[in-house]
Amino acid sequence: MRLIISEKPSAAKKIAEALGGYRTVKSGKSYYYEVSEDLIVAPAVGHLYGLEPSVEGWDYPIFEVEWKKASRRKGFEFAKDYIKNLEVLGKKADEIIIATDYDREGGVIGFNILKFAAKMRHPEKALRMKFSTLTKNELKKAYENAHVHNQFEVGLALSGLTRHYLDWYWGINLSRALVHAIKRTGQFKVLSTGRVQGPALKILVDREREIKKFSSSFYYSLSALIEGTYEAKDGEFNDIKKALEVFTKAKGPAKVVDIEKNKRELLPRPPFNLTDLQTEASRVYKITPKETLDLAQKLYEAGVISYPRTSNHDLPKELDTNAILQALAYFIPQAPTLLNRKAAKGKKTDPAHPAIYPTGEKHGDSDLRQRKIYELISRRFVASFADSAIREATRISLDLNGVTFVMEGQKTVKEGFTKIYPLGLKETEIPTTKVGDTLSVDYIQLNREQKSPPKRFTEAGLLKQMEKVNLGTKATRADIIQRLYTRGYIEGKSIKVRPLGENVVSALEDVVPNMLSVKLTRQFEERMEQIQDGKEKMEAVLEDGKKELMKILKEFKQKEAEVGKKLVSGGVEATPSKFASKTVKTTLKPKVLFGACPGCGKAVGQVISRNDKRYAACTSCDKTWGLPQRGTLTLTKNNCPKPKCKFKKIQIKRKDTQFTLCIEHGFN
């Protein structure tokens, strides 16, 4: 039996339909599609496995992590039956074909299903379907050409797995470090940062500082109303005396002394990649980058556009663009006039997927925002085949009693592709005239103006900046920006950093600047791309990631109290910590003293909180450690083997298992 595994139920249904029809088989709260006795299409529901710590507690550093079923987490219980389906079908299958999205995340989803559900020791030996649209013809072709994972496809998956591990290492350790720093002040607040989140926030804070430092100085300018309609301007003056001198001298009529005309060609834009689509959707429709991606994903699943998570500007060579142009004629009448042409080329490429393009199938959904994104993609696609536009700029120099004023105008003299895909170009009219003509002057005005500070980033602007400095990926950047909003670090469409975000950055950059390093993050992004290309090993990148993080965490541990004070003094609102409260019950009996505190050297013993949770706490300072909450805890006679560690190991006995660990170093 052949088993095809898709990323989502909607994709599984499309694949089954393309391969000749199906019978739906229900299994608990999930289902799969039986195309024939020998061919089954079974869906996942995104990531069915996620990384979780394999040791309990809240201390750091922690690198003990393992993949667990997503159904264990609250809100993801629905995944249980989908996992069970794949476990049962995976055992029966003679051959498995992975048909998840053809990118890093799709590779991770596929590899984890093969490894944990189907129990394949070598996931790379499974077959792979490659497709960029969910159209019948392309899916059928992808099935017929299913092949053993090639180097690039294995690289995609390994690169994605590396990202998951690194993001988990950075996220959990740096976030725990911040919480511990706050607790050192006797207070408590959950804060978070991460490998990409921290540097992204730093970019925004730096812009806020530019705005605050900006000197909003005044300057003076002259303007004149010509022929009752047109505006002419003189230069800028920092000195009011000079401005007044010129102002009193200038008077009409205005004599035309020079006319300059300049034509420039506007080349048609290439079809969208994801970042460009998100930027344009924000400009034209004020739709956020994250919502744009969500809408585009729905359009892809409906089969009306190609896969949206791409960096590419180029269309596939084998694509029948004439058929698509003909199909789009019902709402873009110029489309059929552009047959047998080549689309405009862009700068970005992506070996996994082509640029985003409409498939030619009609968009039948009544959702207005989906339709807006669909039409934006379609118009950009059609416009990429059209002629260039021509813009003409005219500059007229006027003499007003020895003072030179200038009128400037711009107009489109050939619409070209802009008739299909408007760019929002401004048309500025000026009079038709020639050198030597005299024009009437209605009035001359002296203006006092103020220089504007740098603009705050919009979500689309931040997205572009993150792409420019190689922070995150095309698929994750919008989510990272949304996370900054959710954490309360930023607010507004024109992004303003809230005091909490500024305080977190200020505290960290003074003490552990590498926690916010764009350069360090970019280096690992580049190395993950090398894994994708087969030029780096996943294990080497992860090992180096741990080493870099350990340097940061070691430095942070030494300055934990200092960071905590900076956070609190900077205005981070926290609540009194239960560990510093006098009402906490403690049981510091000799048999549960774990050893000497690495910070102050005093005894560390067991603490029972108000809600009867057990922790380890120093009897002198505010430092605490997490303890396993289940099982009987016994102090052993064995010291932790880590150098300079002064803790005894503890033993935890449960009905089903028993293990030993150090409260500082875990299972070491």
In contact, 329 and 336? CB cutoff 8 Å = yes
Q: Which amino acid is at 185?
A: T
In contact, 282 and 460? CB cutoff 8 Å = yes
Q: What is the Cα–Cα distance from 366 to 335, expressed in whole angstroms? A: 23
DSSP SS3 for 155: helix
Q: Calculate ∠ Cα 653-659-660, nearest 5°.
A: 110
Distance (Å) of CA 242 to CA 239, 289, 418, 503 = 5, 48, 44, 45
Q: What is the Cα–Cα distance from 21 to 304, expressed in whole angstroms? A: 20
Q: How many CB atoms lie within 10 A of CB 628?
A: 16
Give the residue from 180, 194, 202 showing the smallest Cα distance to 545.
Answer: 194
| Catalytic hit among 33, 143, 220, 307 | 307
Q: Which amino acid is at 544?
A: D
**Active-site residue flag, 443:** no
Structure letter (DSSP) for residue 604? E
Phi, psi of 64 (to 5 degrees): -80, 110
Q: Classify residue 266 as exposed, middle or buried by CB count within 10 Å of its CB (0-12, 13-18, 19+).
A: middle
Beta bridge partners of 305: 358
Distance (Å) of CA 350 to CA 42, 321, 355, 417, 568 = 28, 20, 8, 25, 45
Beta bridge partners of 389: 266
Cis peptide before 61 (omega within 30 of 0): yes
- The residues assigned a catalytic role are 307
